[in-house]
Amino acid sequence: MRRGSVVQLVALGAVFGAVAAAVALFIPWLPDPASKQADRIDFVFWFVTAICITIFALVAAVIVYAVLNFRAGPDDDSDGPPVHGHTGLEIVWTAVPAALVTAISIVSAVVLAQNGHIPQESAGAARDPLKPLVVDVTAQQFSWLFKYPGFKNATSSTLRLPVDTTVQLRLRALDVIHSFWVPEFSQKQDAVPGLVTKLVITPDRLGTFPVICTELCGLGHALMRSEAMVMTTPKFRDWAEGQGKGGAASGGASGKALFVSNGCNACHTFKPAGASGTIGPDLDKLRQEAQRAGKPLEEFIRESIVNPDAYVEPGFQKGVMPGTFSALPPAQIDALVQFLSGSNK
């Protein structure tokens, strides 16, 4: 090979490599990672991207070089010179990809194993509830509920997490398959009826990030969102201990908070709760709806929560509202009935 051709090939490779690297680096393809697991996944992503950019630069340089240098003239109809196999070249282009794919597999397997690992620490009665912090996640159409068994079953409709603490989520679904996703944490985990699935997260950045349901689960799927708030450990303890003492878990929560934490707002319009869903009937008109159903207001509301198909408002379908709300603690159903009827009088 002439020295000029080598220089030309290297120059082409550098240009294509630089363009591909700029596209990878300067366009924000992924959110900034906010957990140790996300940092590791980010590393795998960049490891694979660097390999891809290198191979792309190599292939693009050879193609463009060939197009520029071996172009046939407009009236040249002759065949090109016959080419026989080149054993050395074939060995190289088999061995290099094999080595790269093996390297990617090993790096991915190590990261997967690390991301599923929970440091086993304090056990027994005196175990520290933050080592690890266990959160029971309940998914249902169309809301998330987070419960903290280490803090007297404190519950919340937003996922609150202390920074730099390993958290184990135990996910359950009450009706259909949902999937838990926080883009900044880079991981997804399905919540499947009848199973408890697990996910380990160690948040390492303060902030508020979206929790998104990423499995099509029904009409309100797109609205099945919450927030993950990563806070300092003392702030988290204050909140969790305060929450566990009385409050939300025991039915003392306001009807409005229950309305939101149970996801009613995803499907219904109800001004006092700032809700504007249109999948189910408008709850600002409950009085008229109860009249159409021929029932006293409060009885009608209670029945519609516990047994939603007993009366279906014209224009809506049976079976859209989940029947799972009948499993709510009676105190919470009372609070909801009060909240809904109080604003319709």
Q: Of the two residues 218 and 247, which places its CB atom closer to ligand CUA in the complex?
A: 218
Q: How far apart, in whole angstroms, are the C-alpha atoms of residue 134 and residue 172?
A: 13
Report residue 24: phi and psi, to 5°: -70, -40
Q: Min. distance of Cβ 221 from ligand CUA in angstroms?
A: 4
Instruction: For residue 204, give the 3-state DSSP assignment.
Output: coil
Q: Of the two residues 213 and 337, which places its CB atom closer to ligand CUA in the complex?
A: 213
Q: Min. distance of Cβ 321 from ligand CUA in angstroms?
A: 15
Question: How many residues appear in the chain?
Answer: 345
Report residue 189: phi and psi, to 5°: -145, 130
Estimate the crossing angle of helix 286-293 against helix 297-306, to 10 degrees. Answer: 90
SS3 string, 111-135, reads HHHHHCCCCCCCCCCCCCCCCCEEE
Q: Min. distance of Cβ 184 from ligand CUA in angstroms?
A: 19
Q: Provide the token pair at 337.
A: 């009935």
Q: Of the two residues 99 and 216, which places its CB atom closer to ligand CUA in the complex?
A: 216
Q: Min. distance of Cβ 218 from ligand CUA in angstroms?
A: 7
Residues that bind ligand CUA (CB under 6 A): 139, 142, 178, 213, 215-217, 221, 224
Q: Min. distance of Cβ 29 from ligand CUA in angstroms?
A: 24
Please check whether residue 339 is in contact with residue 255, taking contact to mean a CB–CB distance below 8 angstroms.
yes
Q: Of the two residues 156 and 166, which places its CB atom closer to ligand CUA in the complex?
A: 156
Alpha carbon 28 to its chain's center: 18
Please check whether residue 239 is in contact with residue 72, taking contact to mean a CB–CB distance below 8 angstroms.
no
Q: How far apart, in whole angstroms, are the C-alpha atoms of residue 58 and residue 246?
A: 65
Alpha carbon 261 to its chain's center: 18
Q: Min. distance of Cβ 177 from ligand CUA in angstroms?
A: 8
Q: Of the two residues 224 and 283, which places its CB atom closer to ligand CUA in the complex?
A: 224
Q: Of the two residues 24 and 219, which places its CB atom closer to ligand CUA in the complex?
A: 219
Please check whether residue 221 is in contact with residue 142, taking contact to mean a CB–CB distance below 8 angstroms.
yes
Q: Min. distance of Cβ 201 from ligand CUA in angstroms?
A: 19
Alpha carbon 180 to its chain's center: 4
Which H/E stretch holds residue 57?
Answer: helix 36-69
Which H/E stretch holds residue 138?
Answer: strand 133-140
Q: Of the two residues 143 and 166, which places its CB atom closer to ligand CUA in the complex?
A: 143
Q: Of the two residues 185 and 236, which places its CB atom closer to ligand CUA in the complex?
A: 185
Q: By 3-state DSSP, what share of the chain in percent is helix, strand and coil, each rounded to 5? A: 50, 20, 35
Q: Min. distance of Cβ 145 from ligand CUA in angstroms?
A: 12
